[in-house]
């Protein structure tokens, strides 16, 4: 049994059992991957994968158990490397941030600018995806920290800290019927085609819930991953946009007007999360503190090392 065999088991699951992709990810040959799998199964005396001919289709019951243990072992090895790197390379290294388009585009630039000023030798890697994908990358060890509005507060295995609160805004072309509507209501919004986020993105569930609570079923004409796309189609007259308020740049969106929608949809919270029990290098804690100045390294370390569900910052002061 060796580490490469464990890596192959993990990558096989990650790559949907495509051995060509597994080989590419591990910088080896497909035949080498197949040989490692056969040797590992022979050594253990069990079949790890369900097969159809030479193709892998999934894990057997013992294979599923072995995969779980292998993932934990590899995570612990990564922890050892991180610990050693902390002492050997000081303030240099890599910070992998899993985040959504909205956070990467509109919120994190100021944070990362300050972080890079303090740690110029740290390479920042932005890994963009859906909120659930961000959580998965964090839990798998592919990311050091995650920033998103959904998932991170409630996900088992993640210590989530409230970063900031935000609200939605309505965006319309200047001169639109809702441009000077006062007060702006859900009923008036529902009389127009709606352009907003995909399910699971940027507080979409609160938008749907607000309409549902009023017995309204608006026409969702277009849904998209990010506000830039939504604003483009609003400008083309496709409908009324509902976006995160920080995604509207008044100095650049001259043909559009933003209307506050907090009174209709309430406020949302964005969170910063790290994996519980993970060994985090000092600059990761500093990143957390830049995001949330009241979150000191001492407090963060205590929470990250605990096994309790994620806590709001106010509960940890």
pLDDT grade for 151, boundaries at 50, 70 and 90? confident
| In a shared domain, residues 160 and 285 | yes
Q: Residues 234-238: what's their mean pLDDT?
A: 96
- Confidence band for 53, pLDDT divided at 50, 70 and 90: confident
pLDDT over threshold 60, residue 86: no
Q: Assess whether 41 and 72 both reside in one domain.
A: yes
Read off the pTM.
0.70
Residue 275 pLDDT more than 70?
yes
Name the more confident of 155 and 171: 171
Do both 213 and 97 map to the same domain? no
Report whether pLDDT(190) > 70.
Answer: yes
Does one domain contain both 227 and 141?
Answer: no
Residue 165 has pLDDT above 90, yes or no: yes
48: pLDDT strictly greater than 60: yes
Together in a domain, 117 and 262 = no
| Cα–Cα nearest to 278, from 154, 133, 158 | 158
Q: Where does a domain end: 51, 85, 119?
A: 85
Separation of alpha carbons 150 and 271, rounded Å = 8
Across all residues in the chain, what is the average pLDDT? 88
Contact 233, 197 (CB under 8 A): no
Cβ atoms of 124 and 99 within 8 Å: the answer is no
**What pLDDT shows up at residue 316?**
37
Mean pLDDT confidence for 150-170: 88
Domain coverage including residue 257: 165-268
Q: According to DSSP H, which parts of 119-157 are helical?
A: 131-140
Q: What is the mean pLDDT of residues 158-184?
A: 93
CATH number of domain containing 242: 3.40.190.10
* Contact of 63 with 49, CB cutoff 8 Å: yes
The predicted structure's pLDDT at residue 313: 45
Is residue 308's pLDDT more than 80? no
The answer to whether the bond into 120 is cis (omega within 30° of 0) is: no
Residues 73 and 198 placed together within one structural domain of the fold: no
Tokens of 155: 């996900």
Which of 46, 59, 79, 53 has the alpha carbon at shortest distance from 8?
59
pLDDT at position 311: 45
* CA–CA gap between residue 230 and residue 201 (Å, rounded): 13
244 shares a domain with 290:
no
Q: At 35, which CATH number? A: 1.10.10.10
Give yes or no: residues 120 and 61 share one domain.
no
For residue 165 the two structure tokens come to: 């609160």
pLDDT value of position 281: 87
Same domain, 198 and 281: no
pLDDT band at 277 (very low <50, low <70, confident <90, very high): confident
Among residues 65, 85, 105, the one where a domain terminates is: 85
pLDDT of residue 90: 59
Considering the domain architecture, whether residues 273 and 228 belong to the same structural domain is answered as no
- Is 279's pLDDT higher than 60? yes
pLDDT tens digits, residue range 95-142? 999 999 999 999 999 999 999 999 999 999 999 999 989 999 998 888
Of 61, 85, 109, the one marking the end of a domain is 85
Number of domains in the chain: 3
- CA neighbor of 256 nearest in space, from 166, 176, 167, 168: 176
80 shares its domain with 120: no
Q: Are residues 202 and 279 located together in one domain of the fold?
A: no
- Looking at per-residue confidence, does 125 or 52 come out higher? 125
Indicate the DSSP class of residue 28.
Answer: S
């Amino acid at each position: 049994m060796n580490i490469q065999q464990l890596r192959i088991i993990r990558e096989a699951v990650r790559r949907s059992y495509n051995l060509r992709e597994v080989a590419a990810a591990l910088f080896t040959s497909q035949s080498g991957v197949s040989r490692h799998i056969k040797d590992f199964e022979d050594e253990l005396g069990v079949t790890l994968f369900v097969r159809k001919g030479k193709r892998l289709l999934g894990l057997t019951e013992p294979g599923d158990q072995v995969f779980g243990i292998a993932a934990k072992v590899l995570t612990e090895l990564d922890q050892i490397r991180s610990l050693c790197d902390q002492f050997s390379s000081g303030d240099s290294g890599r910070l992998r941030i899993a985040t959504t388009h909205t956070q990467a585009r509109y919120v994190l630039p100021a944070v990362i600018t300050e972080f890079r000023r303090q740690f110029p030798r740290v390479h920042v890697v932005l890994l963009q995806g859906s909120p659930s994908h961000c959580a998965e990358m964090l839990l798998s060890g592919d990311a050091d920290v995650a920033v998103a509005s959904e998932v991170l507060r409630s996900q088992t295995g993640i210590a989530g800290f409230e970063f900031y609160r935000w609200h939605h805004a309505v965006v319309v072309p200047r001169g639109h019927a809702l441009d000077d509507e006062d007060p702006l209501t859900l009923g008036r919004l529902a009389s127009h085609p709606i352009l907003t986020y995909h399910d699971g993105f940027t507080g979409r569930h609160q938008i749907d819930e607000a309409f549902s609570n009023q017995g309204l079923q608006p026409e969702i004409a277009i849904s998209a991953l990010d506000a830039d796309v939504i604003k483009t189609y609003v400008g083309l007259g496709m409908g009324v946009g509902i976006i995160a308020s920080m995604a509207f740049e008044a100095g650049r969106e001259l043909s559009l007007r933003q209307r506050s929608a907090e009174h209709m949809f309430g406020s949302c919270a964005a969170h910063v999360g790290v994996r519980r029990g993970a060994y985090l290098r000092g600059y990761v804690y500093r990143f957390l503190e830049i995001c949330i100045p009241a979150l000191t390294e001492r407090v963060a370390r205590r929470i990250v090392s605990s096994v309790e569900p994620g806590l709001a910052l106010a509960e940890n002061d």
